[in-house]
Structures are given as structure tokens and as C-alpha cells.
Amino acid sequence: MTDIALPASRTANPFAGLMAGTTGPVIVVVLAILAIWYIAAVSLNAKFQIEIYERANQVDVPFSQLVTDTLAQERPVLPAPHQVIAEMWDTTVNKKITSKRSLVYHTGITLSSTLLGFLIGTTLGILLAVGIVHSRVLDKSMMPWVISSQTIPILAIAPMIIVVLNAVGISGLLPKAMISTYLSFFPVTVGMVKGLRSPEVIHMDLMHTYSATRWQAFWKLRLPYAVPYLFTSMKIGMAASLVGAIVGELPTGAVAGLGARLLAGSYYGQTVQIWSALLMAALLAGALVALIGVIEKQTLKYMGMDR
């Protein structure tokens, strides 16, 4: 069935080891995506380029020129990867960080509200989970609402929350952070409830025979058990928090932040700008999740729980 295609590790092929792991396949898939991207960029931009040629009365344009022209348009339908990279390089390295044209500046603004929201959301999520695990009333009455709170498309009302809070006088970081909070508390709550309940009955019974109080059982048994769950859900929460921050920036009149960059790009048809903001958001998400991964590894090592 699937194991017919065993990796040919016995042969002298130096790439065999690479292809057997995940690195090789991932590189191949990424290259394939880039190739598809280029082909799509050429074919999507070709229509407009041909129109330009017709207007300029250029006939018999060689295909190679068509390809190079489609990959170098000012406002392409789909910018080519190297255009996006060039734009990112231009707006990160060649601009001063304090400049409003600098992507680093916008990323910093998004990052700060993401982190603030994530911090509040994680704290709230842990507190809720502790309450839910220890109180039957909270468990029965709150848990269904925690779940259904996420079926409310909060992102949809993000603009309104921002506008309303602005009207009250709360502006700046906090409104955006609140949206991030709302999105990131849920995975943490659910993960922590699962984690705090993960000690086996026999261990809880052991704590009971030691005549441990609930407080002691919590600190010495439940919490250590919940740490791996906490990190897993923090990764999800961080990603959700970034989404919240970006959407929260949409209605602020396109002032600053990656979301504002997206909106401004869509108003003025600056596709390269949209894609560079998008790629920056992706890099940011990857970096933040990776950071949590590193902390997770260190913490678990310290606790003696790593495998």
C-alpha cells in the first residue's frame, strides 16, 4: 500500500537521507509552490500586459519579453515572489524604522497589540480554566458559553468595538489588544481545562492519601501536568491573537499596522504592498509560534518532561 515506496537508504545516493526526513520533502513542496506562483503570476498578468502592447501598437512581442514584462509590472494582479521580496527589502532595510513607510514600524505596532492581547488572553484563559476545573457550577454554566463565544464572529464586530471604544476615549493599543484577547483566551481555556484534568485518578488519589489540600494538589500535580497543554494552546492563541490585531487595525482609518497596510494597499490597488504585508504577517506568526516552541522546549527540559 503506502509503504511500497521505501526510501532507498541502502543506495549510495547522498540525498536519500535528506528525502527520508521532512526537510527534503518540505523543500521540494516549497519549490513547487514557488514554481506554481511564477506560472500563475505570468498567466494572470499576461492579459493586462497584452492590452498594454496593443495600446502601444507593439506587435510580435517575443514570448520571453512578455514573461519578463509580466513579472515587472507596477500593479500586477499577482506579483511575483521576487517583487514581493524586493518590496519587503526596500521597506524594511532602506527605510528608517520610525518612518511611516517602513514595514518594520507597522510590524512593530501590530506586534505590540498582539503581545498585549495575548498576555491578557492567556492570563484570563488560565484563570477561567482554574475556575472551571475547581467549581462544578462554573463548569456547568460557563463551559458551554466559552465554546459558543467562539461561534460569534467577533472579528466581524472588531471594527465596532474599536470605534465605540474610541468614542469613550479609550484609543491606541488597548482596543486592538481586546480583540486579540477575545480570540486568544478560548484555546488557552479549553487546553488548560483539558490539561488540569489530565492527571490520572490514581495520582489524584495519591494526593488524597497524602491528605493534600486542593491548593497543594493544584500546584504539585495538576499544574505540572497541564504545562504541555498550556504551550500547545498558547501557540494557537498566539496565531489567533495576531489575526485579531490585524483585523483590529482595519477600521482605524488605515493609520498604522499591518492591517492598515493591507487596507491601504487594497484602496490604492498596490498589490505588491498587500503581498509584502501579508508575507510579513506570515513571518511574524511563524517567528512568534517558533519562539513559544523554544520556550516550551526549555521549560519542559527544566521540568524533566521532555522526550
Partner 1 sequence: MSSMTASRSRFDTAAILAGLVIVCVGLSLATMAFAGDRYVFNTPNLGIPFGFLAILGVRYSLGFAHNRAGDIALGVVCAVSGWFLIRAAHQFAGDAAFGFWALVCALWFSFWLFVDRLAAWRLSDPSAARVVNLLIPLLFGATLLLLWELIVTGAGVPKVLLPAPSEIWVRLVGSVPTLWADFQQTFVKAVLIGYAVGCGSAFITAILVDRSPFLRRGLLPIGNFVSALPIIGVAPIMVMWFGFDWPSKAAVVIIMTFFPMLVNTVSGLAASDAMQRDLMRTYASSYWQTLFKLRLPMAMPFIFNALKINSTLALIGAIVAEFFGTPIVGMGFRISTEVGRMNVDMVWAEIAVAALAGSLFYGLVAMIERAVTFWHPSMRR
Q: Which of 55, 59, 98, 145 touches partner 1 (CB under 8 A)?
A: 145
Considering the complex, what minimum distance in angstroms separates the CB of residue 178 from partner 1? Answer: 14
Q: How far is residue 114's CA from residue 205's CA, in Å, rounded to a whole number?
A: 41
Q: Does 295 bind partner 1 (CB under 8 A)?
A: no
Q: Which of 188, 189, 277, 296 touches partner 1 (CB under 8 A)?
A: 277
Q: Which of 12, 56, 59, 167 touches partner 1 (CB under 8 A)?
A: 167
Q: Which of 97, 163, 255, 303 touches partner 1 (CB under 8 A)?
A: 163
**DSSP state, 219?**
I
Considering the complex, what minimum distance in angstroms separates the CB of residue 237 from partner 1? Answer: 11
Nearest CA-CA partner of 192 in 146, 166, 225, 216: 225
Look at the block and give the residue holding cell 526537510.
23
Q: How far is residue 72's CA from residue 67's CA, in Å, rounded to a whole number?
A: 9
Q: How far is residue 248's CA from residue 250's CA, in Å, rounded to a whole number?
A: 6
Q: Which of 157, 170, 255, 295 touches partner 1 (CB under 8 A)?
A: 157
Tell me whether residue 157 or residue 303 sits nearer to partner 1 (CB atom).
157
Q: Where are the alpha helices (DSSP H) in the chain?
A: 16-20, 23-55, 63-70, 81-92, 103-134, 136-149, 154-168, 173-196, 201-209, 214-217, 223-249, 258-268, 271-303
Q: Does 166 bind partner 1 (CB under 8 A)?
A: no
Q: Does 303 bind partner 1 (CB under 8 A)?
A: no
C-alpha distances in angstroms, 129 versus 91, 109, 116, 123, 196? Answer: 42, 30, 20, 10, 8
CB 24 within 8 A of CB 31: no
CA 26 to chain centre: 19
CB burial of residue 215 (10 Å; 0-12, 13-18, 19+)? exposed
Tell me whether residue 11 or residue 22 sits nearer to partner 1 (CB atom).
22
Q: Which of 26, 291, 295, 305 touches partner 1 (CB under 8 A)?
A: 26
Residues of this chain, 245-264, that bind partner 1 according to CB under 8 A: 246-247, 250-251, 258-259, 262-263
Q: Does 84 bind partner 1 (CB under 8 A)?
A: no
Q: Does 160 bind partner 1 (CB under 8 A)?
A: yes
Q: Does 201 bind partner 1 (CB under 8 A)?
A: no
Q: Does 148 bind partner 1 (CB under 8 A)?
A: yes
Burial pattern 89-103, b for ≥16 Cβ within 10 A else e, equals eebbeeeeeeeeebb
Q: Which of 92, 112, 232, 266 touches partner 1 (CB under 8 A)?
A: 266
Q: Which chain residues interact with partner 1 by CB under 8 A? A: 1-3, 5, 19, 21-22, 24-30, 33, 77, 136-137, 140-145, 148, 150-157, 159-160, 163-164, 167-168, 235-236, 239, 242-243, 246-247, 250-251, 258-259, 262-263, 265-266, 269, 271, 274-275, 277-278, 281-282, 285-286, 289
